[in-house]
Amino acid sequence: MANIPLTASYNSFSGADIVAGLDVPVLRGGTLSFEHYVFGELQTISYSLYRPKRPVRAMGFVNPKGFAYGPRTLAGSLIFTTFDRYIVYRALEQYNAAGYRYLADEMPPFHVTITMANEYGQQAAIRIYGVTITDEGQTMSIQDIYTEQTMRYLARDIEPLHPGNMFSGGGAVR
């Protein structure tokens, strides 16, 4: 009989344990690289994966023989607290200095890195690659104490939540 452990260790993280960063592409001397910006303004991030699956049927059988997999779509939303400037301008400082005024849907694809560390020393990270903004909005109201910048996105890939620090070799960087 297999020896089953009777105890296990589970770690969790709260919103206070999380730091969000965006890796934005910048051009330096004709070379494209990524500049990392920590965004304390990012208050909510969500993602979802969708992949259509269709049954494969054969004549004379009621049940499907298997399933055909369609293309995967990765999408989600980003919600920022707005202070005194448009959030995109902070991420694209280099372009703004040159006089360009981008909107979020014009941003080049960027990466989002969420790192977590709790008071017990446990760490975890998640990374979303190739984020491109599809639409954005802003909410402000006399009923709310703060203003929000909301954005929805599509992305190319995701490195799901895993233990360890993204930048100390705990996770792969693509």
Structural domain contains residue 18 = no
pLDDT of residue 8: 65
Structural domain contains residue 173 = no
Model confidence band, residue 101 (pLDDT cutoffs 50, 70, 90): confident
Structural domain contains residue 150 = yes
Instruction: Specify the higher pLDDT residue, 35 or 109.
Output: 109
What is the mean pLDDT of the segment spanning 122-145? 92
Residue 167, pLDDT > 70, answer: no
Residue 90, pLDDT > 80, answer: no
What is the mean pLDDT of the segment spanning 116-126? 91
pLDDT of residue 145: 85
Q: Which amino acid is at 138?
A: Q
Structural domain contains residue 41 = yes
Structural domain contains residue 16 = no
* DSSP string over the chain: -----S--------GGGEEEEEEEEEEETTEEEEEEEE-TTEEEEEEEEE--EEEE--TT-SS-SEEEE---EEEEEEEEEE-SS-HHHHHTHHHHHTT----GGGSPPEEEEEEEE-TTS-EEEEEEEEEEEEEEEEE--TT-SSEEEEEEEEESEEEEEEES-TTTTSS---
Lowest mean pLDDT among 24-28, 70-74, 92-96, 117-121: 92-96
Structural domain contains residue 130 = yes
Instruction: Specify the higher pLDDT residue, 138 or 86.
Output: 138
Domain count, the chain: 1
Structural domain contains residue 93 = yes
pLDDT of residue 171: 41
Domain that holds residue 142: 37-52+69-163
pLDDT of residue 120: 86
Residue 97, pLDDT > 70, answer: no
pLDDT of residue 168: 45
Structural domain contains residue 81 = yes
Q: Which residues neighbour 9 within 8 Å (Cβ) at sequence distance 6 or greater?
A: none
